[in-house]
Amino acid sequence: MELGIQESEDRAFVHVPVLSQEVITGLAIRPSGHYLDATVGGGGHSELILAAAPDVRVTAIDRDEQAIAAAKTQLATYGDRVQFLLANFAEYQPNNILFDGIIADLGVSSHHLDVAKRGFSFRNAATLDMRMDTRQSLTAAEVINFWDESQLADIFFKYGEERLSRRIARRIVEQRPFETTTQLAEAIAYAVPRQYRYGRIHPATRVFQALRIVVNDELTSLETFINRAPDWLAPGGRIGIISFHSLEDRIVKHSLRASPLLKILTKKPITAQEDEIKQNPRSRSAKLRFAERRDMIS
């Protein structure tokens, strides 16, 4: 049975910042420092940065206009110490600013998952949207209803690591068009063997991850951002990136190591402690890696 699309639509933008203390410790916040929050979300990490030392400034960017609006409210007391910009971090241009630290939290916010109309989750019926930046034209509905079977199978396998990708793609093409998230999730569930249908995670989970990555061009944007970000750091400045699945973490790990400008500070990723996982179960899959800008002496 499909639940009403109106449910949870008006909920405020919420994103609980994960690994909060670890982020602040790892960034080694400096008094009067200037920091870039490349995925400000609801402003949680930025607020911690601003409060960590005197006269700290933050440039806060996000591709989601609802996130920017929420962060402006959350950080209003800091006045002109915060500059906001609606932008994809892959397209950001700092205009010769050198930051003392950069943080990027790649996770989907609680808002994206909990507000039905955004179409990221199949817990409630919603249109197949999944756009973080609602100004863009490509939606999950277009991918599911118009891309050919081989394209769908490929993205489910590549971005969702779904081993039954071809079987699922075949069923989707046979039954489309789909209008809602729950219709699609049900079709995926009945495309897989019964024992797979009742496994630890819902059989639609990996497909929804793949769709979200494709709609928002997440991995290409991440690669672009990590390749550019070291140039934005002042000597001794640090970059911390929080990833939530193996595809992201692989890019973060290898890209940070490949940069001649960076020294790796975390040989193994930092993960959430049990007390945080109890408070925020979504932190369980978070991995935080840090690197530091080298002093480039010619």
Per-residue pLDDT tens, the chain, 298 aa: give them: 223 333 334 445 556 789 999 999 999 999 999 999 999 999 999 999 999 999 999 999 999 999 999 999 999 999 999 999 999 999 999 999 999 999 999 967 555 555 667 878 888 899 999 999 999 999 999 999 999 999 999 999 999 999 999 999 999 999 999 999 999 999 999 999 987 777 778 999 999 999 999 999 999 999 999 999 999 999 999 999 999 999 999 999 999 999 999 999 999 999 999 999 999 988 999 999 999 999 865 4
d(CA 116, CA 181): 9
d(CA 36, CA 171): 44
How is residue 148 annotated by DSSP?
A: -
Residue type at position 283: S
Number of H helices, E strands in the chain: 13, 7
Q: What pLDDT does residue 110 have? A: 57
CA nearest 44: which of 119, 129, 127, 110? 110
CA nearest 43: which of 12, 11, 67, 9? 67
Residue type at position 10: D
User: Cis peptide before 94, with omega less than 30 degrees from 0?
Assistant: no
- How much is the pTM? 0.90
CB 221 within 8 A of CB 132: no
Q: What is the DSSP string of 29-79?
A: PPTT-EEEETT-TTSHHHHHHHHHSTT-EEEEEES-HHHHHHHHHHTGGGG
CB 120 within 8 A of CB 208: yes
CA nearest 29: which of 12, 51, 9? 51
Q: What pLDDT does residue 2 have? A: 29
